[in-house]
Amino acid sequence: MGKISDALTKGNVDELKEVVQQALDNDAVPADLLNKGLLPGMEAVGQKWKNGEMFMPEVLRCAKAMSGAMDILRPRLAKEDLGSAGKMVIGTVSGDLHDIGKDLAAMMFEGAGYEVVNIGIDQPNEKFVEAAKEHKPTLLGMSALLTTTMPRMGEVINSLKEAGIRDQMAVIIGGAPVTQEFAEEIGADIYAPNAGSAVDLAREYFESKA
């Protein structure tokens, strides 16, 4: 476990994949690898990030390593083993081609063990609904950088309601002009002011619902 946590906090993608594969070959219990190795490792990374001891490029490299390890591990895990690390669909709304914030958030969630389906930029409302139906995420993320495209986020939420699937997932939104007030107005569950805080805010939300 020490090796796993080590490779993870170093952000070494290849090394971590190798260590995880080796452990699996040596009959380690997949759930243990996740819960005793990877997740505590990422938690330490998250703590350092919050304390200002780690920076975005380092954290995202760790997240990338985590995501690579999860690709190997996920097929071997039972659904209940995944715990809080659920599935996320994320995209930028129609008319908006800005994606850096959304991509950073997606990487952070992958780092937290989420399986993330990134549907990309400029996505029409119905694409969000389709993706939500297809992937059955626990979390749906949307971003907009422009005040002209912000209203699309509310429309997506309405479309989810019309499709009768709004209650099956939490909705998280972000983007420079977006505020807590706006999130409440359109009926989103979580507002993240930046990519770095999104994972924590989602965790707090799910804990409050549990």
Partner 1 sequence: MKINQTINKSPQFRVLSEDQIEQIYFSALEVMERTGGVVYHEGALELFKNSDALVEGNRVRIPITMVEEALKSYPRKITLKGRNGKRSLFLEKDMVSFGTGSDLPFTLDMNTGERRNTTYKDVSDASKLVDALSNFDFHMSHGIVTDAPNPQTYDRHQFMAMLENCTKPMVVTSVDGEGLEDLWKMGCLIQGGEHEFRLNPMFVVYIEPISPLKNDSTAVEKLLFAAEKRIPAMYTPCPSSGATAPATIAGMLVQSLAETLLAIVMCHLKNPGMPLIMGGVTTLLDMRKSTYSYGAPELSLASAANTDISKWLNLIMFSTGGCTDAKILDEQAASEQMMNLFYSYLSGANLIHDVGYIDHGTTASLESLVLNQEMIGMVKQFGKGINTDDEHLALDLIEKQGPGGEYVTTDHTFKYWKEWFMPQLQDRSDYETWVKNGSKTMGQRLKERTQHLLDTYQPEPLDEKLRKELKKICEDADKRHM
Q: Is 200 in the site for partner 1 (CB under 8 A)?
A: no
- Which one among 15, 18, 81, 122 touches partner 1, defined by CB under 8 A? 122
Which of residues 151 and 187 has its CB atom nearest to partner 1 in the complex? 151
Q: Applying CB under 8 A, what is the total number of residues that bind partner 1? A: 20
Torsion angle, alpha carbons of 44, 197, 32, 88, to 10: -160
CB of 143 to partner 1, least distance (A): 13
User: Which residues, numbered 52-71, are part of the site for partner 1 (CB under 8 A)?
Assistant: 52, 55-57
What token pair was written down for 65? 């390593």
Which of residues 22 and 148 has its CB atom nearest to partner 1 in the complex? 148
Q: Is 131 in the site for partner 1 (CB under 8 A)?
A: no
- How buried is 76 (Cβ within 10 angstroms: 0-12 exposed, 13-18 middle, 19+ buried)? middle
Q: What is the rounded CA–CA span in Å between residue 167 and residue 98?
A: 28
What token pair was written down for 28? 């380690």
- Residue written as token pair 């995944």: 82
Q: How far is CA 179 from the centre of its chain?
A: 20
Q: Is 47 in the site for partner 1 (CB under 8 A)?
A: no
Say which amino acid occupies 4: I
Q: Any residues with CB less than 8 A from the CB of 7 and at least 6 apart, and which?
A: 15, 16, 18, 19, 65
CB of 125 to partner 1, least distance (A): 16
Q: Is 95 in the site for partner 1 (CB under 8 A)?
A: yes
- Catalog residues that contact partner 1 under the rule CB under 8 A: 52, 55-57, 95, 97-98, 100-101, 104, 122, 147-148, 150-151, 176-177, 194-196
